[in-house]
Amino acid sequence: MVRSLTASTLYDELQERLDLQWIVGSGKGKNRSVSDHDLTARPSLAGYLNLIHPNKVQVLGEEELNHLNSLDATQRVETLTATLENDLLAVVIGDDLEAPEDLVKLSSAADVPVLVSDLPSWELVNLLQYYISKSLARSTSLHGVFMEVFTIGVLITGDSGCGKSELALELLNRGHRLIADDAPEFTQITPEIIDGTCPEALQDCLEVRGLGVLNVRRMFGDAAIKLNKYLRLIINLEVPKAGRVEMSDRLHGNTSEVPVLDLSIPSITLPVLAGRNLAIIVEAAVRDFMLKMKGYDAAHAFVERHSRILHRTSGKWES
């Protein structure tokens, strides 16, 4: 599905944050859009005036307007006309400057939105690039419960009825935080980072079989809810067939990697058995994952220790 962003949506979302004022642009101008296909194009999404590789949002600051003022009348009109001929989303003027009359006139004729802001132009460029990139970034929805456990974003997955919500409820009782239940949304905000959020319709809610929908914020307080978190670890709950657990590697556990938006996310599969305290096991799994992030691997250290012991023992036998 193609993701797009219109000029009117950009204005509505950033009007307060960027102190924007809509000067020119009505009708079709408000519906000018940029799509996720533009993320792969050579021009950047937002930047300073550029006629060779035009930006989708052309930002004009004090230096750009001074450059326009240095041109003679013919060159100025040609430059402004060339700027507005491209498939722009909008022109944004920063540094608390007024929109030049000829720019307003030409933009009105071309139906290109012109916005002005009191913020410095460099700040506008940074914020616009971040907002547009995030709005058009690749995203997906996964089935599971997304939580913050010891500051780590953990997605709890598994078949329906395996106890995901009950585990989430126990983790909430132990002081951890809920981000989203059932259908968290994940967006790739950088080449190596996936950010997870909760759909508006599911905000603050957790469904537990037999109890129905619970409002976590009302039950546990505001501190029990986290708006977003980077996805770092997936914990998959698996109900063993015939009640038997098959462990291929008892030293390293049942670990693997799961592709999410073409990124490989570490995954741990935990068997669901009667009498196991999964909340404690999940906490232990997250703590061990944090140690691995710092460079310590318990299994590797265990193997090295035994290698040293065997080496010393074999030395005694040889002597």
Question: How would you class 119 by CB atoms within 10 Å of its CB: exposed for 0-12, middle for 13-18, buried for 19 or more?
Answer: middle
CA 147 → CA 64, 194, 225, 234, distances in Å? Answer: 47, 14, 9, 10
Q: Residue 37 catalytic?
A: no
CB 153 within 8 A of CB 196: yes
The phi and psi torsions of 124 (rounded to 5 degrees) equal -60, -45
Catalytic residue among 28, 143, 305, 308: 143
Report the distance separating Cα 71 and Cα 222, nearest Å: 57
Catalytic residue among 42, 244, 250, 294: 250
Strand runs (DSSP E) across 69-143, as ranges?
Answer: 90-93, 114-117, 139-141
Catalytic residue among 32, 56, 164, 232: 164
Q: In what order do the strands lie in the sheet with 114-117?
A: 20-24, 114-117, 90-93, 57-60, 46-48
Determine which helix (DSSP H) or strand (DSSP E) holds 94, and give its type and residue range.
none
CB 294 within 8 A of CB 307: no
Q: Residue 204 catalytic?
A: no
Catalytic residue among 182, 195, 226, 232: 182
Q: Residue 164 catalytic?
A: yes
Q: Which of 25, 98, 94, 87 is nearest to 56 (CA)?
A: 87
Catalytic residues: 143, 164, 182, 250
